A and B are shown apart, each in its own frame.
Chain A
């Protein structure tokens, strides 16, 4: 077909700002408006195409041939703009360069490789829950559990030293802000970029990493030639960037979901094996990672619209995860639902390589809580944390009753 220089005139448009504070406070109305506007919508403010329906988001996620990642998975187009840091060899890479790092990390983070962590993490979760409950039956599920547990277990599993770990969250927060436009959130993080990046890069060095752990496993793969020694620290960096804030907000999300759905907590208490399904349902319902961009490698037809080659496409994972075309009663957090197939971890060759780690962390903490807590409910207003990519909670005050 002949490619029009401009998108077809039939494309619905929206003047919404997905990265403005009003939308970040509550993105659900905008998600619905975008879904209802059509399969693809032009976001006038950023001159970018948006997908918000499940089928179209899913199709774009798996179609690496026509929607590339190496031009950046944020708004910034690496074809014309300099990335703020050396691009990720996973997230911001396409086949064939993506193949080897992905294969290595997939093996390092494979469910069978995580079995040795299961008992330790369950014990760590029990200990943290005991500590928090020892202080009383009101606490902040986001600050006291969500923001704490991943930082207790994950950096140890990677094998980085203790000092400086408090830099991980602000680093990740900035990295996820940087996928959006250069707005106030990016400006807020800018002053510390050099310091935080320098520290994170230092932790990726072989000499700094513990002799066992995910970091050491990645370096061992480079000894076998599976990735190059230049790629090894960047693969470790991917773990440190993508593995902390996401699980923090994922755990806060599931605790918030239970605090607002008391019947579902009772269901989990009756059937603790549902913890795994509950976490994926929470990831569907809240979508801690809300969005990612791709770049069209050719003119791609979506519905009646042609997305021209070279143009950015914004995929609303969160909107897809609540698309009523795919999910019955999508706004309900429901353990009776089969959340399989949600796109909260993405889909296709870039699907979250750490998803099994995230599930293990969440299942550990939720199971520990279910062992001791009979009921959980909100004990005050929740506070959102704004991020250009992440849906996050700063504060979730809860009151619990114990067995």
Chain B
């Protein structure tokens, strides 16, 4: 029995602002963060391969793959590598973020979903193991035939080896200082139908995977690229204004309320349902300003377009948003 309170009327604040409830070293330069709702309620559901946007207290937004147990609805886990050339994301997490701190969370979104198959091959490089970890757990649960090739610089820099040990010889751990470069052709073998290949890791590994799988049937290989430590504008922590184009009304949205709540307070009714950025009912057209998307619906391209937002969770990057309301 879980101890998750029902809290059905939980506001978006409960899923969009989480508390750091755990910070544990996993390997040399790698730690995991555990995040939970301050109210103890359920977090938004996710599927293996999904990531969240973490809005750090210093205003930087970084994306991390979820690597915990989806059956635990109260906790997210992410793995974070301390990157030497970090521009403030991973360095902040490693050096300054503390248990008890609050962080903003967007998503989860999944650009790297595990599609149904009887056979999987997984290839992970370094911190690229994080989205693969829940995938292998799921493949195992489904009784699929699967194998994982996991490379890293040195054994002590490779996270989750203890958790992977339980899978026995399905997992090949190949630190570079012991084995040299990964033998990709040897691992994936000859092209054949009915096998799904998933790979996540540094760009050279993914490029090598694409070469290795060039003659495989279409859609056999799926990869997830690390998102560069982007230098985009920090998320706003200050209030912003929402202008309603049809009525000319302007509403101030303070950090403690959602756009939806702010609209409701001035009598503007926007139909919503899940209030957690999942169902899409409250989609609202954006006429000007850049939304700070916190939903689990829009993919990266749709976010770039920026012509709509889900007002139950998403906010603003600019001082002023103009909505078609």
Q: List 19 A–B pairs whose Cβ atoms lie within 8 Å, in order of A's numbering.
A: A58-B8, A63-B42, A65-B71, A65-B73, A95-B70, A96-B48, A96-B114, A97-B142, A100-B114, A100-B116, A111-B280, A112-B302, A226-B113, A298-B1, A301-B1, A338-B264, A339-B271, A340-B281, A349-B45
- Contact call A55/B45, Cβ cutoff below 8 A: no
A92 on interface, CB distance cutoff 8 Å: no
- Contact call A225/B115, Cβ cutoff below 8 A: yes
- Taken together as a complex, chains A and B put the C-alpha atoms of A394 and B213 apart, in Å, by 58
Residues of B within 8 A of A110 (CB): 280, 297
Rounded to whole Å, the gap between the CB of A275 and the closest CB of chain B is 11
B47 on interface, CB distance cutoff 8 Å: yes
A258 on interface, CB distance cutoff 8 Å: no
Residues of A within 8 A of B141 (CB): 96
- Contact call B8/A355, Cβ cutoff below 8 A: no
B26 on interface, CB distance cutoff 8 Å: no
Q: For chain A, which range describes its interface: under 10, 10 to 19, 20 to 34, or 35 or more residues?
A: 35 or more
- Taken together as a complex, chains A and B put the C-alpha atoms of A280 and B47 apart, in Å, by 29
Of the candidates A59, A224, A338, A345, which one forms a contact with B269 in the assembled complex, judged by CB atoms under 8 Å apart? A338
B222 and chain A: residue at smallest CB distance: A225
Q: Mark A134-147, 1 if CB is under 8 A from B, else 0.
A: 00000000000000
Rounded to whole Å, the gap between the CB of B288 and the closest CB of chain A is 20
- Taken together as a complex, chains A and B put the C-alpha atoms of A64 and B44 apart, in Å, by 12
Q: Mark B104-127, 1 if CB is under 8 A from A, else 0.
A: 000000100111110000000000
B42 and chain A: residue at smallest CB distance: A62
- Contact call A228/B275, Cβ cutoff below 8 A: no
- Taken together as a complex, chains A and B put the C-alpha atoms of A214 and B307 apart, in Å, by 24
A351 on interface, CB distance cutoff 8 Å: yes
Extra contacts, 5 of them, besides A95-B47, A340-B272, A342-B273 (Cβ < 8 A), are: A58-B8, A100-B116, A110-B297, A277-B269, A277-B271
Of the candidates A1, A96, A355, A356, which one forms a contact with B1 in the assembled complex, judged by CB atoms under 8 Å apart? A1
A122 on interface, CB distance cutoff 8 Å: no
Number of A-B residue pairs, CB cutoff 8 Å, is 98
Q: For window 216-255 of chain A, which residues contact chain B by CB distance below 8 Å?
A: 224-228, 231
Q: How many residues of B contact A (CB 8 A)?
A: 40
- Taken together as a complex, chains A and B put the C-alpha atoms of A339 and B141 apart, in Å, by 39
- Taken together as a complex, chains A and B put the C-alpha atoms of A95 and B45 apart, in Å, by 10
Q: Mark A331-344, 1 if CB is under 8 A from B, else 0.
A: 00000001111100
Q: For window 239-292 of chain A, which residues contact chain B by CB distance below 8 Å?
A: 276-277, 280
B212 on interface, CB distance cutoff 8 Å: no
Residues of A within 8 A of B70 (CB): 95
Q: Mark B1-40, 1 if CB is under 8 A from A, else 0.
A: 1101010110000000000000000000000000000000
Residues of B within 8 A of A225 (CB): 115, 117, 196, 219-220
| Most chain B CB inside 10 Å of its own CB: which residue of A62, A64, A100, A227 | A62
Of the candidates B8, B42, B219, B302, which one forms a contact with A54 in the assembled complex, judged by CB atoms under 8 Å apart? B8
- Taken together as a complex, chains A and B put the C-alpha atoms of A110 and B220 apart, in Å, by 26
B157 on interface, CB distance cutoff 8 Å: no
Q: Please judge, given known A-B contacts A96-B138, A225-B219, whether A111 and B283 are in contact too, CB under 8 Å.
A: yes
Residues of B within 8 A of A347 (CB): 273-274
B279 on interface, CB distance cutoff 8 Å: yes
Q: Please judge, given known A-B contacts A54-B8, A58-B8, A225-B115, whether A300 and B280 are in contact too, CB under 8 Å.
A: no
- Taken together as a complex, chains A and B put the C-alpha atoms of A366 and B47 apart, in Å, by 38
A124 on interface, CB distance cutoff 8 Å: no
- Taken together as a complex, chains A and B put the C-alpha atoms of A224 and B115 apart, in Å, by 10
Q: Mark A304-326, 1 if CB is under 8 A from B, else 0.
A: 00000000000000000000000
Q: Please judge, given known A-B contacts A1-B1, A64-B45, whether A341 and B280 are in contact too, CB under 8 Å.
A: no
- Taken together as a complex, chains A and B put the C-alpha atoms of A103 and B45 apart, in Å, by 13
B283 and chain A: residue at smallest CB distance: A111
Residues of A within 8 A of B138 (CB): 96
- Contact call A99/B271, Cβ cutoff below 8 A: no
Q: Mark A145-179, 1 if CB is under 8 A from B, else 0.
A: 00000000000000000000000000000000000
Residues of A within 8 A of B42 (CB): 62-63
- Contact call B116/A231, Cβ cutoff below 8 A: yes
Q: Mark B69-109, 1 if CB is under 8 A from A, else 0.
A: 01101000000000000000000000000000000000000
Q: For window 277-309 of chain B, which residues contact chain A by CB distance below 8 Å?
A: 279-283, 297, 302, 308
Residues of B within 8 A of A224 (CB): 219
Q: For window 186-235 of chain B, which residues contact chain A by CB distance below 8 Å?
A: 196, 219-220
Rounded to whole Å, the gap between the CB of B239 and the closest CB of chain A is 24
A126 on interface, CB distance cutoff 8 Å: no
A380 on interface, CB distance cutoff 8 Å: no
A302 and chain B: residue at smallest CB distance: B6
- Taken together as a complex, chains A and B put the C-alpha atoms of A340 and B280 apart, in Å, by 12
